[in-house]
Amino acid sequence: NAGVTQTPKFRVLKTGQSMTLLCAQDMNHEYMYWYRQDPGMGLRLIHYSVGEGTTAKGEVPDGYNVSRLKKQNFLLGLESAAPSQTSVYFCASTLTGNTEAFFGQGTRLTVV
Amino acid sequence: AQSVTQLGSHVSVSEGALVLLRCNYSSSVPPYLFWYVQYPNQGLQLLLKYTSAATLVKGINGFEAEFKKSETSFHLTKPSAHMSDAAEYFCAVSDPDMRFGAGTRLTVKP
């Protein structure tokens, strides 16, 4: 049972480049989340999804887009990367709202 | 949206001493509250959760937390710290999307 898997684990981008982070879960969870973690700021919610085909904005959505075309996958896109998006990105999933979150191992993104 | 505030970005204790990590929530109704732990270069894992069944919640690794409505608090405690407890701890609230506090880094001195 793989749980939550994020790809890639590391990436370096140049300013203005685009990329997509993939999150996959095999637990049949309804909710999926993308967070960014920065020193001293904890985890801040970027976007989330409460089911296949749905997405919603979190605390810091600007500069990011997401899609949930399949229940098991949640994609995070950066259309034009900026140095301020240098961070560690975590994906998580929950069975429904108000249940335990399961996390991926994180993606360390550096924008130069 | 609901939120949580963690008091103290860094807590240092001696091995064997009491661990107290503070968390306050913003909701006027009892929320779903969680404590997670993050070890270096890893994702977060659940320590315990409050779902209104009992005010004192026991978690893994000897941790527990008490829900106090009058103080809007959900502080995490452990009677005796161990070196392996050194990590970053996050309080979270579900509304139902999961929101986290800024985290408290726990250092355990020998």
Supply the pLDDT for residue A98.
82
The tens-digit pLDDT sequence of chain A (112 residues) is 679 999 999 999 999 999 999 999 999 999 999 999 998 888 999 999 999 999 999 999 999 999 999 999 999 999 999 999 999 999 999 998 888 999 999 999 999 9
* B45 touches A: beta carbon within 8 Å: yes
Assign 3-state DSSP to chain B and report helix, strand, coil percentages, each to 5: 10, 55, 35
Strand order in the sheet with A65-67: A4-7, A19-25, A73-78, A65-67
B37-95 tens-digit pLDDT: 999 888 899 999 998 778 899 999 999 999 998 899 999 999 999 999 999 999 999 87
- Give the span between the Cα atoms of A74 and A66, in whole angstroms: 7
Considering only CB atoms, B97 lies closest to which of A4, A45, A103, namely A45
Q: Which of B10, B36, B44, B57 is the best residue to mutate to test the A interface, defined by the most A CB atoms within 10 Å of its own CB?
A: B44
A3 Rama class: left (phi>0) / alpha (psi -120 to 50) / beta: left
What are A's interface residues with B at a Cβ cutoff of 8 A? Answer: 4, 31, 33, 35, 40-45, 48, 50, 56, 58-59, 90, 92, 94, 96-101, 103-106
Q: Tokens 């109704």 correspond to what residue?
A: B29
Report the Cα B52 to chain-centroid distance in Å.
16
pLDDT of residue A16: 97
In chain B, what is the straight-line distance between the N-terminal and C-terminal CA atoms, in Å? 41
Q: Is B105's pLDDT higher than 90?
A: yes
Distance from CA of B7 to the nearest CA of A (A): 12
Residue A32 is encoded by which pair of tokens?
């999926």
pLDDT of residue A58: 94
Is A101 within 8 Å of B97 when comparing Cβ atoms?
no
Which of B9, B32, B97 lies at the smallest CB-CB distance from A58? B97
| Polymer length of chain B | 110
CB neighbourhood size of B2 (10 A): 17
pLDDT band at B33, cuts 50/70/90?
very high
Calculate how close chain B gets to A32, using CA atoms only, in Å: 9
Cis-peptide, bond into residue A83, ω within 30° of zero: no
Is residue B104 within 8 Å of B89, Cβ to Cβ? Answer: yes
pLDDT band (50, 70, 90) for residue B11: very high
The whole-angstrom distance between residue A85's C-alpha and the CA centroid of its chain comes to 13
pLDDT on residue A73: 98
Please judge whether A45 and B51 are an interchain contact, meaning their C-beta atoms are less than 8 angstroms apart: no
